[in-house]
Chains A and B, each alone.
Chain A
Amino acid sequence: MSARRIFAGPARLAAIAPCLWMVLFFLVPFGFVLKISLSQTAVAQPPYLPVFDFTQGLAAIKAAFAVLSLDNYRLLVSDNLYILSCLRSLVVAAVSTAILLLIGYPVAYAMARLPQRWQGIAMMLVIVPFWTSFLIRIYAWINILQHDGLLNQVLLALHIVSAPVVWLSTDSAMYLGIVYSYLPFMILPLYASLAKMDPALSEAASDLGASPQQTFWLVTFPLSLPGVVAGALLCFIPILGEFVIPDLLAGSDSMMIGQTLWLEFFTNKDWPVASAVAVVLLVLLVAPLALYDRLQRRQLEAAR
C-alpha cells in the first residue's frame, strides 16, 4: 500500500506536460472563440475587430472590451437560416442515433452470443473500418450511389426501377453515410455491455417461464442500458456537428449547423459569426457532453 502511494507522487508529475498542452491547445482556444464571437466583422487581417494589443497597455485593452457586443448572437436569433440549421442538426442527430441503435443492437447482440474464440475476430472486424479513412468510406458510397453507379445498375438490371434513381444529394444518402460511418461507435459499447452479462440470468428467466421476448425485454435489454446510453452519446454528439457527410451526400437546400459554421468561415469569411455559431453548437452539446463525461468517469472508476 505504501509503495502504491510512493508511486502516486511521480505519476502525478506526469500530468504536467499533457495538462499544459491541453490547456494551451484545447481550453484557451475556446476563450478565443468566445471573444471573437463578440467582435465585429472587419475587412482586415485578421478579419475581426477589436484586435487585442497587449503592448498598448491597460487603457487600450479596456477600450477593446467596450467594443465587444452581442450583435452576432442577435443576428443568429433573427435569421431563420441559423435557427433552421440548429433544428435540422438536432433532428438529423436524433434520427441517425435511433437508426444506429436499431441496426447496431442486433449486431452487437449476435456478437455477444458468438463462441468465445469468434468474438475477438468479430470485434476486430467491427473495429477495422473505424481505422480506415472516414473520407474514403464516404467516397466509396458516392461511387455506389451516383447516377450510373452500381446501385442503379443493379436496380435496373433486376427491373426494380425503370429509370435511374437520384440517390446523391438526398437526405437518404446522408442518413446512409452517417449510419455507415458511425456504426462501429454504436456496436462497440453495446457489445461491451452485452458481453459482460452473465448468460445464467437469461437462462434463469426462461427456466422461470419467461418467453424469449419477455426475457429480452425484462432482463437483457435493461441490463444493457449503460451500453445503449454510451453508444447513443458517442454517436449523437459528433453527428450534431457533422460537416463532411452532409456536405458530400445531402442536398444543398438545407444545412446542418456544422455546414453553416463552415460556410460563414470559409465562404463568407465572417469569423465573428462563425465563432458565434460555434458557441451555439457548444451550448447544444453541454448536456450530452456532461452526461458522457459522467458515464466515462464512472466506468473508469469501476475499472480502477
Chain B
Amino acid sequence: MTARPRSRMSRFNVSALVLGLAFLYLPIAILVIYSFNASKLVTVWGGWSLRWYAEFFNDRAMLDAAWMSLRVAAVSASLATLLGTLAATALSRGERFKGRTLFSGMLYAPLVMPEVITGLSLLLLFVALNAERGFWTVTIAHTTLTMCFVTVVVQARLGKLDRSLEEAAMDLGCDPLRAFVSVTLPLILPSIVAGWMLAFTLSLDDVVIASFTTGPGSATLPIRIYSEVRLGVRPQINAICTLVLGLITVVIVAASFATKLTSARGEGAAPL
C-alpha cells in the first residue's frame, strides 16, 4: 500500500480506480454485446442480429412473467415510497418517542437480513393467514423490503435539510402539516423520487423473496430467468437481461435528471 499525500493521484491510485471500475463493468458489457450475437452458440460470434429479442417477444410465458414483475415493482415501489417517507419523517423530525429504538431497528434490519430468512418468514405468515399466494403476497413482501431502503434515502436528505425553513413557515402561521406539505415535501422530493426508483429496481431484481412468496402460475421475471440460468447459458436470456438493463438505465437516468431538476429549483427557493 503506497500512500502519497503530496501528489494527490499517484499511478497506484489511478490503476486501482481503473481496474476496479473495469471489474465492475466489463462482464455487463460482454453480456450486452453477446445478446446481439446471431450465432446460436453463445460463445461463437456470428455477426450482429436481433433474433433473440424477436424470440423473447414471441415467448408468451416470459412476457407474462415480465408483465407480472413490472406490476409488482410499480405497486410495491409506490407503497414503499409512501411508507418509507412517513418513517423517515418520524425518525428525523419526531425527536425522541417511545419505541423509537425498536422502530428504527425494524427499519434497518431488513437492509442486511439474508433474503432466505425474510422470504421464509413472510411465507409462513401468509400460509398462517390463509392468504392466496400470487401478485399481492409478492407485492407485500417487496414493499416490506424496499420501504427500508426508501427510509434511508429520504432520511439522509431530511437530515441535511435546514430546519429553520420549517420553523419559519410555522412562525408565519402554517400548521405543522401545511408546513410539511408546502415547505419540506418539495425540498425532499428528489430523494423521494430516487427512493421510488431504487425500490422499483430492487423489486425488479429479487429472486429469493419472490420464490418464497409467490404462488403457482405467477412467476416473476427473475424467477423465470433464474430457472433458465440454472440450465445453462442461452442467447435469449442475454437478450432479456439486456432489456432489463436498458429499462434500469432509463430509470437511473430519469432519477438523476429529476434529482438535478428539483434540487436546482429547491436551492433557488431556499436562498439561505
Does A73 count as interface, using CB distance less than 8 angstroms? Answer: no
Mask of A14-26 contacts with B, CB within 8 angstroms, 1/0:
1101110111011
Task: Flag if B120 contacts A278 (CB, 8 Å).
Answer: yes
Task: Flag if A212 contacts B122 (CB, 8 Å).
Answer: no
Residue among B2, B20, B226 with most chain A CB within 10 A: B20
Mask of B67-84 contacts with A, CB within 8 angstroms, 1/0:
000000000000000011
- Selecting from B52-60, B240-248, B262-270, the interface stretch reads B240-248
Contacts A183-B20, A213-B1; A133 near B12 (Cβ below 8 A)? no
Mask of A268-304 contacts with B, CB within 8 angstroms, 1/0:
0001001100100110010001001100110010011
A interface majority secondary structure: helix
Contacts A11-B176, A22-B106, A300-B159; A137 near B27 (Cβ below 8 A)? yes
Give the docked Cα–Cα distance between A3 and B90 (Å).
Answer: 16
Contacts A18-B84, A300-B155; A144 near B244 (Cβ below 8 A)? no
Interface residues of B in 17-51 (CB under 8 A from A): 17, 20-21, 23-25, 27-28, 30-31, 34, 41-43
The size bracket of the interface on A is: 35 or more
- Selecting from A55-63, A64-72, A75-83, A235-243, the interface stretch reads A235-243
Q: Which of B3, B94, B201, B232 contacts A11 (CB 8 A)?
A: B94
Does A193 count as interface, using CB distance less than 8 angstroms? Answer: no
Please indicate the chain B residues that have their CB under 8 angstroms from the CB of A22 in the complex.
103, 106-107, 144
Does B114 count as interface, using CB distance less than 8 angstroms? Answer: yes
Count B interface residues, CB 8 Å: 107
Please indicate the chain A residues that have their CB under 8 angstroms from the CB of B8 in the complex.
113-115
Q: Closest Cβ of chain A: how far from B2's Cβ, in Å?
A: 6
Does A49 count as interface, using CB distance less than 8 angstroms? Answer: no
Task: Flag if B124 contacts A281 (CB, 8 Å).
Answer: no
Mask of B208-233 contacts with A, CB within 8 angstroms, 1/0:
10011000000000100110011011
Give the docked Cα–Cα distance between A30 and B106 (Å).
Answer: 12
Q: Which of A114, A242, A274, A292 contacts B120 (CB 8 A)?
A: A274
Task: Flag if B106 contacts A281 (CB, 8 Å).
Answer: no
Task: Flag if A135 contacts B226 (CB, 8 Å).
Answer: yes
Give the docked Cα–Cα distance between A258 and B115 (Å).
Answer: 9
Give the docked Cα–Cα distance between A37 and B166 (Å).
Answer: 50
- Which residue of the partner chain B has the closest CB to A302? B159
Please indicate the chain B residues that have their CB under 8 angstroms from the CB of A180 in the complex.
23-24, 27
Please indicate the chain A residues that have their CB under 8 angstroms from the CB of B204 in the complex.
133
Task: Flag if B114 contacts A258 (CB, 8 Å).
Answer: yes
Give the docked Cα–Cα distance between A243 and B222 (Å).
Answer: 14
Task: Flag if B31 contacts A213 (CB, 8 Å).
Answer: no
Contacts A14-B90, A113-B13; A234 near B106 (Cβ below 8 A)? no
18 further A-B contacts with Cβ under 8 Å, apart from A8-B94, A202-B5, are A15-B86, A18-B84, A26-B118, A29-B121, A106-B13, A107-B20, A110-B20, A126-B20, A136-B28, A136-B241, A140-B30, A140-B31, A153-B43, A234-B112, A261-B116, A262-B116, A274-B120, A281-B114
List residues of chain B with CB under 8 Å of any chain A CB: 1-6, 8-10, 12-14, 16-17, 20-21, 23-25, 27-28, 30-31, 34, 41-43, 83-84, 86-87, 89-95, 97, 99, 101, 103-110, 112-118, 120-122, 124-125, 127-128, 140-141, 143-144, 147, 151, 155-156, 159-160, 163, 166-167, 170-171, 176-177, 179-180, 198, 201, 204-205, 207-208, 211-212, 222, 225-226, 229-230, 232-233, 237-238, 241, 244-245, 248-249, 251-252, 256
